[in-house]
Amino acid sequence: MATPRERRQGHRARGARRVAIVLGGAAIGVLALAGTAFAHVTISPQSAPQGSTAELTFRVPNEESSAATIELQVQVPIAHPIAQFLVKPVPGWTSTVQTVTLAKPVVTDDGSFSTAVSEVTWTGGKILPGQYQDFSVSADPLPAGVGQLVFKAIQTYSNGDVVRWIDLPQAGQPAPEHPAPVLILTPVGATAGSGSGGSGAQADPAAGGSDTTALALGAAGLAAGLLGLAAGGSAWLRDRRGRRS
């Protein structure tokens, strides 16, 4: 027959196991949700000073299990045009650039520019399942007087599937399933955030970048885990009280 001390130790062991199971489930839920969010097309850095020159990188993961990504199309906002938008070569891929004539030329230290890039398309390569590819451009200068730039992206797969990363969050609505990559523009002298893929926080909640989605989903998973932990703890306490009585 177990002594009172041995019974107390047994209760503690069972309670510890319940807590470990709940925490483990919460951690798995958070990681699974974050992994889904990080699969979005993202932009790095997430923010940069207005008027600066920046290398922007679009990270494109393959979300299909049996098809390859064969094309990426990125729309460059022209409401606030970028005078010099240069594409960095990607081995195995061919880039095609479309331009528009501006109603009002953009004047910079390098001169006056009457045209601006409106779209870049990469083709000819493949992003296989379980892989990702980075596509980089140089933007000089980033526009002033605007808080963000939205780069809508369209991803095409070898099986004909097309995913449009073009959505922005709406007030009071869940985070969009296919958020557009957004670059936050900070006033000159402010600290610009950095990060690759899904790291860091965005300065503007209206931007709707993938990190906002990742944080929201991760927080939801963590909250569910904490609720489960509370429920498990309550059950353990009820069990202890029942055994004492």
In a domain, 19, yes or no: no
In a domain, 6, yes or no: no
In a domain, 165, yes or no: yes
Sign of CA dihedral 225, 230, 234, 236: positive
In a domain, 26, yes or no: no
- Residue 178's pLDDT is 96
**What's the CATH number where 114 sits?**
2.60.40.2230
Q: What does pLDDT average to in each consecutive run of 10 residues of the chain (245 residues)? A: 59 52 44 50 97 98 97 97 98 98 94 97 98 98 96 98 96 94 88 41 38 45 48 47 47
Its domain, for residue 66, covers 41-211
Domain count within the chain? 1
- Residue 8's pLDDT is 58
Amino acid, res. 240: R
Q: Which residues pair with 150 in a beta bridge?
A: 182
In a domain, 156, yes or no: yes
- Residue 236's pLDDT is 43
- Residue 5's pLDDT is 60
pTM of the entire predicted model:
0.65
In a domain, 217, yes or no: no
In a domain, 2, yes or no: no
- Residue 169's pLDDT is 87
Q: Is the peptide bond before 45 cis (omega within 30 degrees of 0)?
A: yes
In a domain, 116, yes or no: yes
**182-186 vs 47-49, strand pairing mode:** parallel
- Residue 163's pLDDT is 98
CA 21 – CA 55 distance, rounded (Å): 45
